[in-house]
Amino acid sequence: IKPHLKIYTLPGTNGDTVMQGLDSLAVRCKEYYEGGARFAKWRSPLVIDIEKGCPTDLAIKANMRDLARYALICQSEGLMPIVEPDVSLSGTHTLEQAVDINIKIQAELFKAMIDHGVYMPGTTLKPNIINPGRDCPVSYTVEEIAEANIYVLEQSFPVAMPGANFLSGGQTLEQGAARLSAMNKVKGNAPWNLSFSWSQAIQLPLLDLCKGKGELQFDEMSKLYVEELKIASAAALGAHCWNDGDGDHVGKVKAKEAVLA
């Protein structure tokens, strides 16, 4: 169940947002539970824009405290909360800048959850994979991206929480699988289970099979779906062997620089 409602732009923050829906959440969670639901997910989207100073401290605190309050309410009504601080891939920020901002976001989240009295082993994290912005001019290998993600977890992720299931967030299956598998290869003795919670990365290739054909291609879709799940499952075990370049970030050359070149 996704119990959050409409997105709201915080005034004076250059576009930072929060999700609405906390006021009626307890009543709705009770109804969801009676209807058979046992899990809930609240997504708090954030965008990194270095020039605009986003996300602001206000946006980070507001969103993470909302996630904590949502988690507490869900647990009080018998639902297991999935907390999703979702930092967008858009932007020109470097991997190093992404690391600093994501540590700040996750540290704020987990402190707020503890302050609210959330039972930490009874929650799970659905984070974005830490990446440079899609238009970042600096290139990074998949191994560098994996090491950055483990570093962020080591700096902020409570041992009490059993694991993280990463969202795809605009990455292809090939990109996400390479990065997740690389993370599991380098995590060492880290106590967390690192897995996936991907929708677009798995669903879009299935829908592409149906383009121009007028109907769903169930046989082809079923075969591809099984193959995709094999790739994702192997990545969650650190056993996926990716092709050269999969998972790397290739720096984007600005249009003006490309013309001069």
pLDDT at 256 over 50: no
The tens digit of pLDDT for each residue in 170-227 reads: 999 999 999 999 999 999 999 999 999 998 899 999 999 999 998 999 999 999 999 9
In what helix (H) or strand (E) does residue 189 lie, and over which residues does it extend? none
The tens digit of pLDDT for each residue in 177-188 reads: 999 999 999 999
Question: Would you state the pLDDT for residue 254?
Answer: 63
Question: Would you state the pLDDT for residue 258?
Answer: 47
Confidence of residue 253 (pLDDT cuts 50, 70, 90): confident
The tens digit of pLDDT for each residue in 101-113 reads: 999 999 999 999 9
Torsions phi, psi for 126 (to 5 deg): -120, 85
Question: Would you state the pLDDT for residue 255?
Answer: 45
- Asked if the bond preceding 55 is cis, omega within 30° of 0, the reply is yes
pTM equals 0.93
pLDDT at 40 over 50: yes
Confidence of residue 252 (pLDDT cuts 50, 70, 90): confident
Residues annotated as catalytic (active site), given as ranges? 84, 126
